[in-house]
Amino acid sequence: MGSATYTELANATVLTQPVYEPGKPIETVAREFGIDSAGIIKMASNENALGPSPLALAAARDALGGVNFYPDGGATLLREKLARRAGLSPAQFVPTNGSNEAMILLAQTFLRAGDEVVFGAEAFIVYKLAALLFGAKPVAVPMPAHTHDLGAMLAAVTPQTKLVFLACPNNPTGTVNSPADIVDFATALPPHVILCLDEAYAEYLDDAVDIRPLIAAGVKIVGARTFSKIYGLAGLRIGYLYGAEEVTALVRRTRQPFNVNLVAQVAAAAALDDDAFLRRAREVNASGLRQLELGFSALRLSYIPSRANFIVFHTHFATEVFDTLQRKGVIIRPLAGYGMTDSLRVTVGTPEQNTRFLAELRAILSRK
């Protein structure tokens, strides 16, 4: 028998693949710092502080008794409902295990070594991970004022570019591009480039861009949406990709036969009808953003005005603030992984959570 390590046997891209660093779960922080989990608030991963959509929760509970059966691999009912609501065809939707999976499947479908993937330097890290995983070259375009520079992104496109990712609003910066600018950008891209518009926080906007006319016009654009954020279903892992039937049919070939679990399918379909919950989530978020902005101003901290359910603020003591907050049971998110070493991101919580976060923050900074 010869000798070979697993590492020697692994694919080259795997050896250099960076690891996504998620926000710590409440239970982990409780154990690490010896604090009661009931006193911990998680404002780290842009989850909905109001909990899951009540309609989704009821549907999920009902569905649990049937988990001895495989789910509908085609997620037929969910796709039909999404299609009806959007005025598109069910074939134009690919439900996925979180919209994260949608982006990985898109990468798997289209990327090979030598391809280039264009995205913003302060954009969601998953775009870079998706590129690297399939041997493509990540091309990170600087974001002046923390906002996607669509002109610079267009200029970064080469004959090798295959995919462009654009998040609106963007995570972690919370910034947006106008619908008109996004439409112009999508239309200006050459036909060998596919634009993936990441709409994870689109429900928080009242002027979100509508890409359906672009899809209908044959522009190479797909949308990625999620039930993890405003719908409050992050733990169930469900999102979807939508676009022209030609692209969704190709992407569908790369997914596992049962990539979306049974409970998630049912809960997501129910969540789509929960208008009251969505309205409340938007209201609580808008007032929470104002509360946090006022709080930062009172502490003389600058911040990036946000249109999503989180906000970035700046401090030279980012690491210390993050660590101390965590020890006090308030989990937020460091952004050093995005090269934003003087910045921290906090998810909008309930009014009480925002108040507690701001009070702990004030206490830490007053000792400086």
Ligand X SMILES: *Cc1c(COP(=O)(O)O)cnc(C)c1O
- Interacting residue ranges for ligand X, rule: CB under 6 A: 46, 98-100, 124, 167, 171, 198, 200, 226, 228-229, 234, 239
By C-beta, is 123 or 136 nearer to ligand X? 123
- Would you say 148 or 328 has its CB closer to ligand X? 148
Provide the minimum distance between the beta carbon of 147 and ligand X in the complex, in angstroms, as a whole number: 15
Find out whether 189 and 157 touch, Cβ atoms under 8 Å.
yes
- CB closer to ligand X out of 229 and 307: 229
When the beta carbons of 225 and 356 are compared against ligand X, the nearer one is 225
In this structure, how many other beta carbons lie within 10 angstroms of the beta carbon of residue 212? 16
CB of 234 to ligand X, least distance (A): 5
To the nearest whole angstrom, how small is the minimum distance from the Cβ of residue 124 to ligand X?
A: 4
User: What sign for the dihedral angle of Cα 335, 95, 265, 83?
Assistant: positive
**Nearest approach, Cβ of residue 38 and ligand X (Å):** 25
DSSP 8-state code for residue 91: G
* Minimum distance from residue 174 beta carbon to ligand X (Å): 10
Whose Cβ is closer to ligand X: residue 98's or residue 329's?
98
| Distance from C-alpha of 348 to C-alpha of 46, rounded to nearest angstrom | 7
Least distance to ligand X, CB of residue 221, Å: 16
Closest residue to ligand X: CB criterion: 98
Instruction: Tokens 């404002």: give the residue.
Output: 43
Residues 6+ apart with CB under 8 A from 293: 303, 305, 311
Q: Read out DSSP for 73-99?
A: TT-HHHHHHHHHHHTS-GGGEEEESSH
Nearer to ligand X, 168 or 358 (CB): 168
3-class secondary-structure state, position 139: strand
Q: How many CA atoms lie within 13 A of 344 on its CB side?
A: 27
Distances (CA, A) of 78 to 221, 238, 272: 22, 11, 10
